[in-house]
C-alpha cells in the first residue's frame, strides 16, 4: 500500500496524458536531428581542420615559355628546407600532377609540356610557430610570383558555413523547446481546469501549493521522458537509415560520413542521449511554475 | 462579503465563537449560510471587515500561513466533494497525507474511524459506488480525521435517516467534548430542537444569535 504510486488527481486519464507524449516525441525528434546535424558538421570540420593544420602548399608560377625548368623549384625548396619548423617539403612530381589532371585532361598527357604552375607540398610542425607571412615573403623574394597557401582562407569559409548551420540548428532547438513549453503550459492549465474541484478540495484541506504542484510536475516529468525517449529512438533510427543509405550510395565522401560520427563516443553524442531527460525536466519545471502561478489566485 | 461586483451577501455580521462551543447555523436557503461558512473555512476572503481565526487576523495573515490554519479546520461540504477516483480510505486519509503524516499512522487512524462510522467493509469502495448516506459519512470522516480545532458542517445530516443522523450528531458532540468548536449549518428544525445548543440565525444577510430555550446547566 505504501509503495504504490497514488495521485490525488486522476491526471493519467486526461486527454493531455495521451497527446503530450506525442508532442514531446515529435519535438525531441526534431531537436535530435538538428543537434545530430550540428554534430556531424562540427565533426567534419574538425577533421578537415586537423588534416589541414600543418599542411601548406607552395605554388610557383609556370616556367617561361619554352623552358622546362628554371630552377625555381630548387630555390623554393632550399628556402623551405632552411626554415626551422618545416618537417618536409616535396615538389609534386610529374606523375602526381598528371594524376591530378587526369579527370580533366585524360591519361595521355605529359604534364611537363603544359605551362602549369608547380606545386610543393609542405609539412610544418604546428607547434613550432612558423611565421607564415615571413616565409611567404622569403619565397616571393627567391622565386618571383611564388605563393604560400595555408588553406586558411578556404577553411575559414567552411567554418563560417558550419557556424551558420550550427546557429540555425540551435535556433530550431530553441523554437522546439519553446513550443514544448507552450504545450506543457496548455496541458497543465487544462488539467487544472478539469480537476478544479479536486484541486480546491486539496487546497481547502490544507495542502500547500507545492503538494498540489508536485502531482502535476511528476506527471509532466513522466510524460516528457516517455515522449522524449520515443522521439530519440525515432531520431536514431532516422540517422541510422541516412547513414546506411549514404554508405550504400557512396554519396558522401570521407569527410562527411555520418556513421563514423555516430559511432564516435564523443561527449556530444552522450548529451544527445540526455535529450529525453532534458525534455522531461523542462516539462516538469514548466508544470510546476504553471500550477504555482494558478494557485496563487486561490485565497 | 460579496462575490465579484455583486451585492453584499453578508454584512454587519459580528460574532465570536468561544473555543469549544457548539452552534447551529440556521436560515432559509440563500440566506448566506454557505457564504458564511466559506469565510470561516478560508475559501473566500471578506471584501471588508475583520475575521480572526484562532486569534489570527485573516485579512493580514500572509498566504503561506493559510495551509496551517486550514489544517485546524475540518469541513463537511454540503455536496461532500469526495474525490471519485480515490477509495473511501484514500478520501478520508487525504487531510493526513496532505499534512505529511506517516503512512502507518494514516492506515491505523483511517481504518479505525471508517469502521466507527460503519464503513469498515467499504474501505476500498469508490464514492460513486456508495450510497448518499455512505458518501456523507466518508465526507464526515475526512473532516474529523485530523481532530480539527474547528469543525464546520454544511447540512451534514441531510442525506441520512434519522437514526444515523442522531449517531452522527453524537459523534459531533463527542468531538465537541474533546475540545473541537463546532458550527453545523442545517435546515433540520427537529435536530436543532432536539440538541441543546445555541444557534446563529441568518436572515437577509444579517445574523442574530438565539440561545436555546432550556439552558443546560451541566
Backbone phi, psi, residue B41, to 5°: -95, 20
Q: What is the DSSP letter of B8?
A: B
Show residues of chain A in contact with B83, CB under 8 Å: 8, 198, 201
Show residues of chain B in contact with A206, CB under 8 Å: 67-71, 73, 95, 98-99
Q: How far apart are CA A187 and CA A192, in angstroms?
A: 9
Show residues of chain A in contact with B69, CB under 8 Å: 206
Length of chain A: 299
Rg (CA), chain B: 17
Q: Is B167 helix (H, G, I), strand (E, B) or coil?
A: helix
pLDDT interval class at B130 (50, 70, 90) = very high
Find residue A120's DSSP bridge partners. Answer: A58, A91
Here the cell at position B57 is 487576523
Show residues of chain B in contact with A202, CB under 8 Å: 94, 98
* In B6-136, beta strands by DSSP E: 22-26, 52-53, 56-57, 73-76
Reported as type and span, the H/E element at residue B150 is: strand B150-154
Q: Is the pLDDT of residue B5 over 70?
A: no
Q: Is the pLDDT of residue B10 over 50?
A: yes
Q: Average per-residue pLDDT in chain A?
A: 82
Question: Nearest CA to CA, how far is B70 from chain A (Å)?
Answer: 5
Top residue of B44, B62, B86, B140 to mutate, by most chain A CBs within 10 Å, is B86
Q: How far apart are CA A116 and CA B83, in angstroms?
A: 89
Contact B98 A206 (CB under 8 A): yes
A205 touches chain B (CB under 8 A): yes
Here the cell at position B91 is 478520501
What is the pLDDT, as a whole number, of residue A1? 33
Question: Domain boundaries in chain A?
Answer: 11-50+154-295, 55-149
Cell 490554519 -> residue: B69
Contact B103 A2 (CB under 8 A): yes
**pLDDT tens digits, one per residue of A265-274:** 567 778 788 8
Neighbours of A6 (CB within 10 A): 13
Question: Nearest CA to CA, how far is B192 from chain A (Å)?
Answer: 27
Beta-carbon pairs below 8 A across chains A and B: 53
What is the pLDDT, as a whole number, of residue A266? 64
Cell 480546491 -> residue: A200
Q: How far apart are CA A172 and CA A174, in angstroms?
A: 5
Cell 615573403 -> residue: A137
**pLDDT tens digits, one per residue of A80-117:** 888 888 888 888 877 777 777 777 777 676 666 677 78
Say if strands B199-203 and B22-26 run parallel, antiparallel, or are unpaired: parallel
Show residues of chain B in contact with A13, CB under 8 Å: 85
Find residue A58's DSSP bridge partners. Answer: A120, A148
* Nearest residue on chain A to B99, alpha-carbon basis: A207
Q: Cα–Cα distances in Å, from A208 out to A213, B64, B80, B103?
A: 9, 8, 21, 18
Q: Is the ipTM of this complex over 0.85?
A: yes
Please compute the mean of the pLDDT values over residues A185-204 and round it to a whole number.
93
Q: How far apart are CA B71 and CA B83, in angstroms?
A: 18
What is the pLDDT, as a whole number, of residue B175? 87
Provide DSSP, chain A.
Answer: --SS---SS-GGGSHHHHHHHHHHHHHHHHHHHHHHHHHHHHHHHHHHHHHHTTEEEEEEPPPPTT-S--SHHHHHHHHHHTSTTEEEEEEPPHHHHHHHHHHHH-SS--GGGS-PPEEEEEEE-GGG---HHHHHHHHHHHSTT-EEE-SHHHHHHHHHHHHHHHHHHHHHHHHHHHHHHHHHHHHHHHHHHHTHHHHHHHHHTT--HHHHHHHHHHHHHHHHHHHHHHHHHHHHHHHHHHHHHHHHHT-S-GGG-HHHHHHS--HHHHHHHTHHHHHHHHHHHHHHHHHHHHHTT--
pLDDT interval class at B4 (50, 70, 90) = low
Show residues of chain A in contact with B99, CB under 8 Å: 206
Contact B83 A200 (CB under 8 A): no
For the range B100-106, what are the long-range contacts, defined as Cβ-Cβ under 8 Å and sequence gap of 24 or more? Answer: B103/A1, B103/A2
Contact A205 B86 (CB under 8 A): no
Please compute the mean of the pLDDT values over residues A286-293 and round it to a whole number.
96
What is the pLDDT, as a whole number, of residue A4? 38
As to burial, measured by CB atoms within 10 angstroms (0-12 exposed, 13-18 middle, 19+ buried), residue B5 is: exposed
Of B41, B63, B68, the CB nearest to A204: B41
Here the cell at position A126 is 604546428
For residues B23 and B61, the answer to whether their CB atoms sit within 8 Å is no
Please give the CATH number for the structural domain made up of B1-72+148-218: 3.40.50.300
Contact B94 A201 (CB under 8 A): yes
A200 touches chain B (CB under 8 A): yes
Among A1-5, A29-33, B81-85, whose mean pLDDT is lowest? A1-5
The better pLDDT of the pair A60, A260 is held by A60
B60 touches chain A (CB under 8 A): no
Contact B95 A1 (CB under 8 A): no
Q: What is the 3-state secondary structure (H, E, C) of B89-106?
A: HHHHHHHHHHCCCCHHHH
The better pLDDT of the pair B98, B168 is held by B98
Question: Domain boundaries in chain B?
Answer: 1-72+148-218, 84-147
* In B27-149, beta strands by DSSP E: 52-53, 56-57, 73-76
Show residues of chain B in contact with A5, CB under 8 Å: none
Please compute the mean of the pLDDT values over residues B78-102 and round it to a whole number.
92
Cell 591530378 -> residue: A100
Q: Is B24 helix (H, G, I), strand (E, B) or coil?
A: strand
Contacting residues for B146 by C-beta, under 8 A, at least 6 apart = B71, B74, B95, B96, B99
Here the cell at position A44 is 567534419
Q: How far apart are CA A43 and CA A255, in angstroms?
A: 9
Q: Is the pLDDT of residue B217 over 50?
A: no
B126 touches chain A (CB under 8 A): no
Top residue of B51, B58, B67, B69 to mutate, by most chain A CBs within 10 Å, is B67
Please compute the mean of the pLDDT values over residues B111-124 and round it to a whole number.
91
Q: What is the 3-state secondary structure (H, E, C) of A23-48?
A: HHHHHHHHHHHHHHHHHHHHHHHHHH
Of A197, A207, A299, the CB nearest to B44: A299
Q: Is the pLDDT of residue A67 over 70?
A: no
Q: Is B67 helix (H, G, I), strand (E, B) or coil?
A: helix
- Angle of helix B132-144 relative to helix B103-116, nearest 10 degrees, comes to 130
Q: Is the pLDDT of residue B27 over 60?
A: yes
**pLDDT tens digits, one per residue of A217-275:** 999 999 999 999 999 999 989 988 887 777 776 555 544 444 444 545 567 778 788 88
Of A197, A203, A205, the CB nearest to B95: A205
**pLDDT tens digits, one per residue of B157-212:** 776 778 878 888 888 898 899 889 999 998 878 778 888 888 888 887 778 887 76
The better pLDDT of the pair A130, B194 is held by B194
* Nearest residue on chain A to B87, alpha-carbon basis: A8
Top residue of B47, B62, B64, B66 to mutate, by most chain A CBs within 10 Å, is B66
Most confident of A10-14, A52-56, B49-53, B62-66: B62-66
CATH 3.30.70.100 is right for the domain spanning A55-149:
yes
For residues B52 and B129, the answer to whether their CB atoms sit within 8 Å is no
Amino acid at each position: 500500500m505504501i509503495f504504490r504510486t497514488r495521485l490525488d488527481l486522476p491526471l493519467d486519464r486526461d486527454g493531455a496524458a495521451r497527446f503530450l507524449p506525442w508532442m514531446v516525441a515529435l519535438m525531441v525528434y526534431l531537436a535530435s536531428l538538428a543537434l545530430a546535424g550540428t554534430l556531424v558538421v562540427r565533426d567534419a570540420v574538425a577533421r578537415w581542420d586537423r588534416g589541414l593544420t600543418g599542411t601548406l602548399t607552395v605554388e610557383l608560377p609556370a616556367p617561361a615559355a619554352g623552358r622546362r625548368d628554371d630552377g625555381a623549384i630548387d630555390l623554393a625548396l632550399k628556402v623551405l628546407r632552411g626554415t626551422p619548423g618545416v618537417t618536409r617539403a616535396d615538389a609534386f612530381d610529374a606523375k602526381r600532377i598528371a594524376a591530378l589532371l587526369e579527370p580533366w585532361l585524360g591519361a595521355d598527357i605529359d604534364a611537363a609540356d603544359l605551362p602549369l604552375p608547380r606545386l610543393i607540398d609542405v609539412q610544418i610542425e604546428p607547434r613550432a610557430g612558423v611565421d607564415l607571412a615571413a616565409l611567404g615573403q622569403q619565397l616571393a623574394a627567391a622565386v618571383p610570383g611564388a605563393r604560400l597557401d595555408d588553406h586558411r582562407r578556404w577553411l575559414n569559409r567552411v567554418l563560417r558555413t558550419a557556424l551558420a548551420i550550427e546557429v540555425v540548428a540551435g535556433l530550431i532547438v530553441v523554437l522546439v523547446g519553446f513550443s514544448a513549453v507552450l504545450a506543457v503550459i496548455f496541458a497543465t492549465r487544462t488539467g487544472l481546469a478539469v480537476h478544479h474541484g479536486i484541486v480546491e478540495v486539496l487546497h481547502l484541506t490544507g495542502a500547500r501549493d507545492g503538494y498540489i504542484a508536485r502531482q502535476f510536475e511528476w506527471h509532466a516529468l513522466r510524460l516528457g521522458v516517455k515522449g522524449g525517449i520515443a522521439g530519440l529512438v525515432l531520431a536514431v533510427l532516422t540517422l541510422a537509415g541516412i547513414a546506411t543509405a549514404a554508405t550504400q550510395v557512396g554519396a558522401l565522401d570521407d569527410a562527411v560520413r555520418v556513421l563514423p560520427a555516430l559511432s564516435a563516443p564523443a561527449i556530444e553524442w552522450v548529451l544527445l542521449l540526455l535529450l529525453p531527460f532534458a525534455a522531461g525536466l523542462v516539462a516538469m519545471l514548466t508544470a510546476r511554475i504553471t500550477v504555482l502561478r494558478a494557485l496563487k489566485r486561490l485565497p | 462579503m460579496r462575490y465579484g461586483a455583486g451585492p453584499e451577501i453578508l454584512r454587519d455580521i459580528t460574532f465570536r465563537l468561544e473555543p469549544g462551543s457548539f452552534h447551529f447555523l440556521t436560515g432559509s436557503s440563500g440566506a448566506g449560510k454557505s457564504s458564511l461558512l466559506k469565510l470561516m473555512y478560508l475559501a473566500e476572503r471578506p471584501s471588508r471587515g475583520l475575521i480572526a481565526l484562532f486569534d489570527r487576523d485573516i485579512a493580514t495573515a500572509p498566504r503561506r500561513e493559510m495551509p496551517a490554519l486550514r489544517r485546524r479546520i475540518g469541513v463537511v461540504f454540503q455536496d461532500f466533494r469526495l474525490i471519485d477516483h480515490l477509495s473511501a480510505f484514500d478520501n478520508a486519509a487525504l487531510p493526513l497525507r496532505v499534512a505529511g503524516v506517516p503512512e502507518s499512522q494514516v492506515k491505523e487512524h483511517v481504518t479505525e474511524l471508517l469502521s466507527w462510522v460503519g464503513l469498515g467493509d467499504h474501505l476500498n469502495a469508490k464514492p460513486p459506488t456508495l450510497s448518499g448516506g455512505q458518501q456523507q459519512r466518508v465526507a464526515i470522516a475526512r473532516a474529523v480525521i485530523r481532530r480539527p480545532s474547528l469543525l464546520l458542517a454544511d447540512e451534514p445530516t441531510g442525506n441520512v435517516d434519522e437514526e444515523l443522523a442522531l449517531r452522527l450528531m453524537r459523534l459531533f458532540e463527542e468531538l465537541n467534548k474533546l475540545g473541537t468548536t463546532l458550527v453545523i449549518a442545517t435546515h433540520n428544525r427537529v435536530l436543532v430542537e432536539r440538541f441543546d445548543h445555541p444557534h446563529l440565525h441568518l436572515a437577509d444577510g444579517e445574523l442574530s444569535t438565539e440561545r436555546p430555550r432550556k439552558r443546560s446547566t451541566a
